[in-house]
């Protein structure tokens, strides 16, 4: 990811709308990575907090403070109460177990703090950092937290991936790697990180410090994805003049080509590993225009087009049965997003909304990354979230049934998410 936030990005999208370093399917030198990944997969969470908070939202209120609430807007809990010109809060992120919430606090416009609280709002950690984090991602067990922030490297300003270890009484923070841009994905075992940096390098990092290069010739994509099967990783590479999305298998050390693409791509594999959703972008006189939303059924190799309109973001349901996406739409000079859900057979139109600036600039721009750390689907796969203004001009956080029933405004806020399981 990069820290730049271009307010004209959505307008530009609407208007203009495996293979290793040598380009062959060489074995992946993963050493002991597969053995560790295959034997340490986490079991289901049993903590009572996880069950209690399974359906609760964390959201940024219109007043800039942070809250949690039930999915119907009930039982609102204020996590902070002092947001203002000299104190900003951002990036609230549930741990997958529902026990903790992390967020960033910025004081006086520059001093950044990492704050971790219990689900009831009790602050456990408040650590001042050299640079404020702008992205968080918990591991599957919730005992380690990766974050991205600006950094000062040997060659000047860059980004850093840093790790917060919560397994001891005195949590430590270490720098894992630097580069820009920077994208990451946790192994489902919680012991390894898959990274894509510098528009070139795809690597695996063990938390003990060892790294393994998967590719030094990455294609034009952003976030890689470690699949639910801990032996499989999705990323994109260059093979001569071609670009392709691939799955690397740590067990067989082979790379499977899923599809070729032109320009750039964003992609997401369904939680069950059976379907790939992706978009392409094409270069037109130096500008990027996002094209249709495509779907690949991986076992059968069958393709289908879900949307021919410019697609801004898309997210799989927890049960892998449905895909939620947002199409850019221009009407009367105003840009909006048309929300749609495909349930495996039919597509339902959920209405047109104007995203809040926070949701648009900080989250939807990097949807393939945030889809791995936050959920805009309810845990039962029956509802989706949106933060912004509906066609009647009412702003807030909306819970929208995917069967087409009326949306419910559940909070006066600018961003919200469920825990990512």
Residue closest to 1 by CA, chosen among 294, 368, 350: 368
Contact of 352 with 391, CB cutoff 8 Å: yes
- Give Cβ neighbours of residue 4 (< 8 Å, ≥ 6 apart): none
Structure token digits, residue 62: 């219109």
Cα separation of 371 and 315, whole Å?
6
d(Cα 190, Cα 54) in Å, to the nearest integer?
A: 20
User: pLDDT (tens digit, 0 to 9) for every residue of the chain, 421 residues total?
Assistant: 865 433 333 433 333 333 223 233 333 444 445 454 444 444 334 444 445 577 899 999 999 999 999 999 999 999 999 999 999 999 999 999 899 999 999 998 788 999 999 999 999 999 999 999 999 999 999 999 999 999 998 889 999 999 999 998 899 999 999 999 999 999 999 999 999 999 999 999 998 878 999 999 999 999 999 999 999 999 999 988 999 999 999 999 999 999 999 899 999 999 999 999 999 886 543 334 567 999 999 999 999 999 999 999 999 999 999 999 999 998 887 889 999 999 999 999 999 999 999 999 999 999 999 999 999 999 999 999 999 999 999 999 999 999 999 999 999 999 999 999 8
Integer Cα distance of 78 and 58 in angstroms: 10
Could you check whether the bond before residue 195 is cis, i.e. omega within 30 degrees of 0?
no
**115-to-83, 121, 122, 133, 203 alpha-carbon distances in Å:** 14, 11, 10, 10, 29
pLDDT value for 283: 56
d(CA 52, CA 189): 24
HSE at residue 208, side-chain half, CA atoms within 13 A, is 5
How many whole angstroms separate alpha carbon 353 and alpha carbon 289? 21
Angle formed at CA 284 by CA 282 and CA 286, multiple of 5 degrees: 105
Place of tokens 């702008």: 134
Backbone angles phi, psi at 151, to 5 degrees: -160, 160
Find the DSSP H helices in 239-323.
none
Q: Taking every pair of C-alpha atoms in the chain, what is the biggest distance, in angstroms? A: 58
Pairing of strands 395-401, 383-389: antiparallel
pTM across the whole model:
0.89
CA–CA distance, 152 with 360 (Å, rounded to integer): 28
- For 20-47, what is the HEC assignment? CCCCCCCCCCCCCHHHHHHHCCCCCCCC
pLDDT value at residue 173? 96
Concatenating the DSSP letter of every residue in 115-173 gives: EEEETTS-EEEEEEESS-EEEEEE-TTSSEEEEEEEEEETTEEEEEEEEEE-SSSS-EE
Residue 301 burial (C-beta neighbours within 10 Å; 0-12, 13-18, 19+): exposed
> What are the boundaries of each domain within the chain?
1-17+262-421
Element of type H or E holding 236:
strand 232-239
Cα separation of 92 and 264, whole Å? 29
Note the pLDDT of residue 289: 53
First to last CA, the chain: 22
Provide the pLDDT for residue 14: 36
- The enclosing H or E element of 10 equals helix 9-15
Q: DSSP class of residue 359?
A: I
100-107/111-118 β-pairing: antiparallel
Q: Identify the residue whose tokens are 């919680």.
A: 190
Token pair belonging to 125? 């950690």
Confidence at residue 40, expressed as pLDDT on a 0 to 100 scale: 43
């Amino acid at each position: 990811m990069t820290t730049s936030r271009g307010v004209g990005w959505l307008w530009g999208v609407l208007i203009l709308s495996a293979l290793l370093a040598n380009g062959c399917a060489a074995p992946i030198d993963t050493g002991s990575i597969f053995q560790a990944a295959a034997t340490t997969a986490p079991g289901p969470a049993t903590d009572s907090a996880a069950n209690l908070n399974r359906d609760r939202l964390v959201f940024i209120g219109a007043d800039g403070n942070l809250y949690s609430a039930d999915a119907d807007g009930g039982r609102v809990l204020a996590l902070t109460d002092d947001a203002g010109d000299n104190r900003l809060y951002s990036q609230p992120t549930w741990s997958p177990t529902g026990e903790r919430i992390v967020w960033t606090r910025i004081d006086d416009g520059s001093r950044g703090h990492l704050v971790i609280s219990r689900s009831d709002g009790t602050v456990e950690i408040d650590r001042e950092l050299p640079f404020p984090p702008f992205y968080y991602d918990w591991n599957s067990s919730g005992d380690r937290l990766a974050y991205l922030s600006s950094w000062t490297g040997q060659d000047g300003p860059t980004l850093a991936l840093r790790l917060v270890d919560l397994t001891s009484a005195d949590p430590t923070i270490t720098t894992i790697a630097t580069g820009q841009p920077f994208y990451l994905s946790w192994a489902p075992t919680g012991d390894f990180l898959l990274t894509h940096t510098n528009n070139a390098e795809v690597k695996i990092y063990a938390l003990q410090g060892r790294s393994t290069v998967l590719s030094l010739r990455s294609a034009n994509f952003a976030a890689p994805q470690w699949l639910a099967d801990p032996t499989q990783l999705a990323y994109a590479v260059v093979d001569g003049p071609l670009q392709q999305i691939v799955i690397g298998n740590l067990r067989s050390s082979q790379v499977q080509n899923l599809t070729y693409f032109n320009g750039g791509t964003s992609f997401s594999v369904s939680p069950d590993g059976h379907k790939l959703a992706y978009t392409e972008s094409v270069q037109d006189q130096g500008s990027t225009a996002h094209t249709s939303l495509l779907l690949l059924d991986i076992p059968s190799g069958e393709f289908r087009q879900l949307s021919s309109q410019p697609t801004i973001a898309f997210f799989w349901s927890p049960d892998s049965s449905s895909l939620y996406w947002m199409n850019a739409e221009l009407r009367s000079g105003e840009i909006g997003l048309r929300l749609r859900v495909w349930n495996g057979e039919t597509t339902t139109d959920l209405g047109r909304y104007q995203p809040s600036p926070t949701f648009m600039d900080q989250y939807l721009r990097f949807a393939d990354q945030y889809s791995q750390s936050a959920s805009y689907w309810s845990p039962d796969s029956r509802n989706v979230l949106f933060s912004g203004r509906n066609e009647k001009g009412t702003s807030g956080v909306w819970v929208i049934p995917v069967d087409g029933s009326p949306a419910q405004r559940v909070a006066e806020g600018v961003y919200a998410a469920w825990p990512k399981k």
